[in-house]
Amino acid sequence: MSSEVSYPPGPRGLPVIGNTVDLSRDIFAFFEELRDEYSRVASYQVFGTDACMVAHPDAIQQVLLDDHEAYEKGEVLTRNLADAMGEGLFVTDGDQWQDQRTQVQPAFYRNRLNTYVPEMRATAEETVEKWRDGAVVDVNERMAETTMDVLGRTLFGVDVTENPVVSEASDAILTRFDTSRFWSFLPDSLPTPTNRRYRRKLDALQTFVDELAQQRREQQPENRGDDLLSILVGFVEASDLTQEELRDNMVTFLFAGHETTALGLTYTLLCLAQHPDEQAKLQTEVDAVCDGAVTAEDLPELERTEHVIDEALRLYPPVYMFFREATRDVELQGYKIPAGTTLVLPQWAVHRDPAWWDDPEAFRPDRFVGDVDRPEYAYFPFGGGPRHCIGMRFARMEMKTVLATILREYTFNLVSDPDPDLIASTNLKPDEPIEIKLHERDDAEG
Residues that bind ligand HEM (CB under 6 A): 89-90, 101, 252-253, 256-257, 260-261, 264, 318-319, 322, 381-383, 387, 389-391, 394-395
User: What is the spatial distance between Cα 337 and Cα 344, in angstroms, rounded to a whole number?
Assistant: 13
- Of 22 and 352, the one with the shorter C-beta distance to ligand HEM is 352
- Of 253 and 356, the one with the shorter C-beta distance to ligand HEM is 253
* Cβ 69 to ligand HEM shortest distance, Å: 14
Beta bridge partners of 18: 14, 46
Distant-in-sequence contacts of 364-373, Cβ < 8 A, 24+ apart: 364/311, 365/278, 365/304, 365/307, 365/308, 365/310, 365/311, 366/307, 367/307, 367/310, 367/311, 367/314, 368/306, 368/307, 368/310, 368/311, 369/307
User: What is the spatial distance between Cα 352 and Cα 125, in angstroms, rounded to a whole number?
Assistant: 34
- Of 234 and 383, the one with the shorter C-beta distance to ligand HEM is 383
Beta bridge partners of 335: 6, 332
User: Closest by alpha carbon to 200, among 84, 43, 104, 363?
Assistant: 84
* Cβ 381 to ligand HEM shortest distance, Å: 5
Tell how far CA 388 is from the center of its chain: 11
- Of 10 and 257, the one with the shorter C-beta distance to ligand HEM is 257
- Of 57 and 264, the one with the shorter C-beta distance to ligand HEM is 264
SS3 for 54? strand
- Of 22 and 87, the one with the shorter C-beta distance to ligand HEM is 87
- Of 85 and 438, the one with the shorter C-beta distance to ligand HEM is 85
CA dihedral 220→224→229→232, nearest 10 degrees, is 40
* Cβ 243 to ligand HEM shortest distance, Å: 18
* Cβ 422 to ligand HEM shortest distance, Å: 15
* Cβ 155 to ligand HEM shortest distance, Å: 7
- Of 254 and 438, the one with the shorter C-beta distance to ligand HEM is 254
User: Closest by alpha carbon to 63, among 395, 389, 328?
Assistant: 328
- Of 35 and 396, the one with the shorter C-beta distance to ligand HEM is 396
Cβ–Cβ under 8 Å, residues 367 and 361: no
* Cβ 11 to ligand HEM shortest distance, Å: 25
* Cβ 383 to ligand HEM shortest distance, Å: 3
- Of 20 and 78, the one with the shorter C-beta distance to ligand HEM is 78
> Which strand (E) or helix (H) includes residue 128?
helix 117-129
User: What is the spatial distance between Cα 35 and Cα 54, in angstroms, rounded to a whole number?
Assistant: 9
* Cβ 55 to ligand HEM shortest distance, Å: 15
* Cβ 255 to ligand HEM shortest distance, Å: 8
Cβ–Cβ under 8 Å, residues 206 and 166: no
Q: Whats the size of the chain, residue-wise?
A: 446
**Nearest residue (beta carbon) to ligand HEM:** 391
CA angle 420, 372, 57 (to 5 degrees): 70
- Lay out the sheet containing 435-440: strands in order across: 136-138, 435-440, 410-414
User: What is the spatial distance between Cα 290 and Cα 204, in angstroms, rounded to a whole number?
Assistant: 41
* Cβ 291 to ligand HEM shortest distance, Å: 27
User: How many CB atoms neighbour CB 372 within 10 A?
Assistant: 12
* Cβ 190 to ligand HEM shortest distance, Å: 26
- Of 8 and 264, the one with the shorter C-beta distance to ligand HEM is 264
Cβ–Cβ under 8 Å, residues 401 and 117: yes
Q: What is the DSSP string of 334-379?
A: TEEE-TT-EEEE-HHHHHT-TTTSSSTTS--GGGGSSS--S-GGG-
User: Closest by alpha carbon to 108, among 423, 442, 428, 388?
Assistant: 388
